């Protein structure tokens, strides 16, 4: 059974950065994309980007380009998402999610539990 | 990038009734790459439907998806108490996008 376990909640100052981790177990880590989805309080879902570990390069949503970096560590089956230049509007729950289809699809069948990031001075 | 518009924003129904949720895309959805997710408060989303009409593993058959091109529908044939949640459509592929959601409430 695939499991995605995310790191814990964070409180950050405006202008700083946050790195959230997503550790995968129970499946083929290398060949399935892991993506990040943001959900602001009371709002909908927003795709930020994703990576297929075996390929190593990430794709990003245009609105986050230049501010987010997604990396994968195959040795620990962990994917990281770093978001820089944080502002109050970045306060949200961040989810990692796995592609349903090997090689990537952008459709997600396994999700992490979510990580709350609060940006406040 | 395709914009997905879901309607209605909120749907008020009772257990046992039929629910029909709509998702309209600003551009034709290629290969019917349209998925539906259910999200309950405090939980991660759950994949229900992919390919516009295929149920994901473990999804009850009261959930069905239909549509093509730019117009898609999620139907819940007979609502159970646990079906009251927020539902999102998604155009998946290279740059996935989500609709704004429909809240299904009692």
Task: Give residue-wise pLDDT tens across range B3-43.
Answer: 999 999 999 999 999 999 999 999 999 899 999 999 999 99
pLDDT tens digits in sequence order for chain A, 121 residues long: 899 999 999 999 999 999 999 999 988 888 899 999 999 999 999 999 999 998 888 999 999 999 999 999 999 999 999 999 999 999 999 999 999 888 778 899 999 999 999 999 9
pLDDT 10s digits, B44-88:
999 999 999 999 999 999 999 999 999 999 999 999 999 999 999
CB A72 within 8 A of CB A22: no
Closest by alpha carbon to A29, among A116, A120, A115, A110?
A110
Tell me the chain A residues in contact with residue B4 when contact means C-beta distances shorter than 8 Å: none
Furthest-apart CA pair in chain B: how many Å?
A: 38
Query: Which of these, A8, A37, A35, A32, lies nearest to A20 by C-alpha position?
Result: A8
- Distance, in Å, from the CA atom of B10 to the CA atom of A110, rounded to the nearest integer, reads 26
Nearest to A112 among B1, B44, B93 (CB): B44
pLDDT at position B81 is 95
| Terminal C-alpha separation, chain B | 34
In total, the C-beta contacts within 8 angstroms joining chain A to chain B are: 59
Q: Token digits for B30? A: 């290629």
DSSP state of B30: G
CB contact under 8 A, B50 and A44: no
B10-14 long-range contacts, Cβ below 8 Å, gap at least 24? B10/B102, B10/B103, B10/B104, B10/B105, B11/B102, B11/B103, B11/B104, B11/B105, B12/B105, B12/B106, B13/B79, B13/B104, B13/B105, B13/B106, B14/B79, B14/B106
Distance of alpha carbon A25 from alpha carbon A47, whole angstroms: 22
The distance of A87 to chain B (nearest Cα, Å) reads: 22
The pLDDT score that the predictor gives to residue A10 is 97
B95 contact residues in A (CB cutoff 8 A): 47, 59, 61-62, 106
Nearest to A107 by CA among B80, B41, B72, B33: B33
Chain A contact set for B93 (CB, 8 A): 105-106
Give the Cα separation of B78 and A15 in Å (integer): 49
Is residue A108 within 8 Å of A1, Cβ to Cβ? no
């Amino acid at each position: 059974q695939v499991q995605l376990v995310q790191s814990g909640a964070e409180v950050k100052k405006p202008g700083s950065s946050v790195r959230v981790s997503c550790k995968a177990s129970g499946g083929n880590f290398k060949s399935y994309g892991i993506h990040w989805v943001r959900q602001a309080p009371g709002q909908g879902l927003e795709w930020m980007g994703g990576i297929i570990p075996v390929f190593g390069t990430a794709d990003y949503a245009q609105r986050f380009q230049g501010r987010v970096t997604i990396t994968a560590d195959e040795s620990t089956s962990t994917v990281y998402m770093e978001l820089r230049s944080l502002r109050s509007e970045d306060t949200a729950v961040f989810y990692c999610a796995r592609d349903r289809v090997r090689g990537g699809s952008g459709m997600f069948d396994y999700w992490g539990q979510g990580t709350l990031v609060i940006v406040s001075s | 990038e395709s914009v997905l518009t879901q309607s209605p924003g909120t749907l008020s129904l009772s257990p046992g009734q039929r629910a029909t949720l709509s998702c309209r895309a600003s551009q034709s959805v290629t290969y019917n790459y349209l998925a539906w997710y259910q999200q309950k408060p405090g939980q991660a989303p759950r994949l229900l439907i992919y390919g516009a009409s295929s149920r994901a593993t473990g999804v009850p058959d009261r959930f069905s998806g239909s549509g093509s091109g730019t117009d898609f529908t999620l139907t819940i044939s007979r609502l159970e108490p646990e079906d009251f949640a927020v539902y999102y459509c998604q155009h998946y592929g290279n740059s996935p996008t989500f609709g704004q959601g429909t809240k299904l409430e009692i």
